Amino acid sequence: MPAPLRNDTFLRACLRQPTDYTPVWLMRQAGRYLPEYRTTRARAGSFMGLATDPALATEVTLQPLERYALDAAILFSDILTVPDAMGLGLSFAAGEGPRFAHPVRDEAAVARLAVPDLDRLRYVFDAVASIRRALDGRVPLIGFSGSPWTLACYMVEGAGSDDYRLVKTMLYARPDLMHRMLAINADAVAAYLNAQIDAGAQAVMLFDSWGGVLADDAFRTFSLAYTERVLQRLQRERDGVRIPHIVFTKGGGLWLEAIADTGPDVVGVDWTVDLGAARARIGGRVALQGNLDPAVLFAGPAQIAAEATRVVERFGAPLAADGACAGHIFNLGHGINQHTPPEHVSVLVDTVHEASRRVRLRAASGASRT
């Protein structure tokens, strides 16, 4: 029997229920900006050595929670575990990004693709179960996957890319192949996330990190349609408890309504979006997650506090005077940069908690005067 949750602020905000303050967690909160992460990673020998060892993955997942008053933990893993399990041969060379030994570049390679045997991802589900035990009800655990489109970018390019030339060539020249790959990815991602939920993930997030590189029509056809296919297949509840679904499309600010239409509980937004405007557009239907520019964390404590307060105030008090409740989960607009000074993150987290309590108090006293 898992321990009862002692801090459900994050889950409540995802479901647009009232909270005493705005919950906060940070994309890539366990990572290279933390010296203790670098120590554990050195012990593991490689990124994949770390990710495939449930005890070490548990250790690094909890590291940021020891330092900061974060309201959620995120599974330590990577989005590229799924194509790796499909047989593409993932490696991370030191100081470089990810690389696949067998990228998917032609019809024969697409024909060989299949939803992987989930047993090949057992280490991820074991990590989820181990992290849940170690958290002991402290905060909820978020599971995650790449979106079908974002996975396809890496599968075709074979690595990160500046121009997405190979994957966009396939998209325009052979849309039939792209659709086949995306359908397989969607089914793999849905099965993968459902297995994370079975293992104990209390919310799940889809990272559509490269949705924003697509033309409008291509985004709807090749990214959004497959995000929707994943969401339709996800478990909504586990043991009678709702499992919030989060979709984050970097560069997706133009498409907020369309993203909300795919049916997630939460839409993540990057820093190009004004949270007040985003709330007016879709805040009645979904909670919002975001959206401080990670570069703010390079400035000094006073500027970090000012910028974080501005983000909290742009969203405003979640509970409106008419009793309707919106939801905001504070996050960065993208992953935390590896050169971030760790002590700056404390300023950010504490400011979000304090500023959001003030915003609520101010709204409540304003409402009681009218």
The residues of the shown chain that bind ligand CP3, judged by CB under 6 A, are 27-32, 41, 47, 74, 76, 78-80, 92, 97-98, 144, 160, 207, 209, 250, 335
Residue of 21, 68, 154, 192 marked catalytic: 154
Residue 251 or 283 with smaller CB distance to ligand CP3: 251
Min dist CB 44 to ligand CP3, Å, is 9
b (16+ CB within 10 A) / e for 224-257? bbbbbbbbeebeeeeeeeebbbbbbbbbbbebbe
CA atoms of 128 and 203, how far apart (whole Å): 12
Token pair of 31, please? 């990572």
Q: Which helix (H) or strand (E) holds 363?
A: helix 342-369
Residue of 12, 16, 41, 132 marked catalytic: 41
CA atoms of 70 and 92, how far apart (whole Å): 28
Token pair of 339, please? 């050169």
Residue 283 or 290 with smaller CB distance to ligand CP3: 290
Positive or negative: CA dihedral 216, 217, 222, 227 = positive
Residue 16 or 41 with smaller CB distance to ligand CP3: 41
Residue 205 or 243 with smaller CB distance to ligand CP3: 205
CA nearest to 20, candidates 280, 324, 317: 317
Residue of 53, 78, 84, 265 marked catalytic: 78
CA nearest to 160, candidates 78, 45, 46, 57: 78
Task: Say if strands 237-238 and 203-208 run parallel, antiparallel, or are unpaired.
Answer: unpaired
The total of other beta-carbon atoms located within 10 Å of residue 334's CB is 22
Residue 32 is among the residues annotated as catalytic for this protein: yes
End-to-end CA distance of the chain: 48
Min dist CB 25 to ligand CP3, Å, is 8
CA atoms of 46 and 40, how far apart (whole Å): 10
Min dist CB 170 to ligand CP3, Å, is 19
Min dist CB 118 to ligand CP3, Å, is 19
Residue of 28, 99, 132, 360 marked catalytic: 28
Min dist CB 146 to ligand CP3, Å, is 6
Residue 247 or 326 with smaller CB distance to ligand CP3: 247
Positive or negative: CA dihedral 183, 184, 185, 191 = positive
Min dist CB 286 to ligand CP3, Å, is 20
Residue 146 or 318 with smaller CB distance to ligand CP3: 146
Q: Phi-psi bin for 113: left (phi > 0), alpha (psi -120 to 50), beta?
A: beta
Residue 155 or 359 with smaller CB distance to ligand CP3: 155
Min dist CB 28 to ligand CP3, Å, is 4
Residue 28 is among the residues annotated as catalytic for this protein: yes
Dihedral in degrees, nearest 10, Cα atoms 163, 165, 170, 175: 40
Residue of 32, 220, 238, 242 marked catalytic: 32
Q: Which residue is nearest to ligand CP3 (CB)?
A: 209
**Would you name the residues annotated as active-site residues?**
28, 32, 41, 78, 154
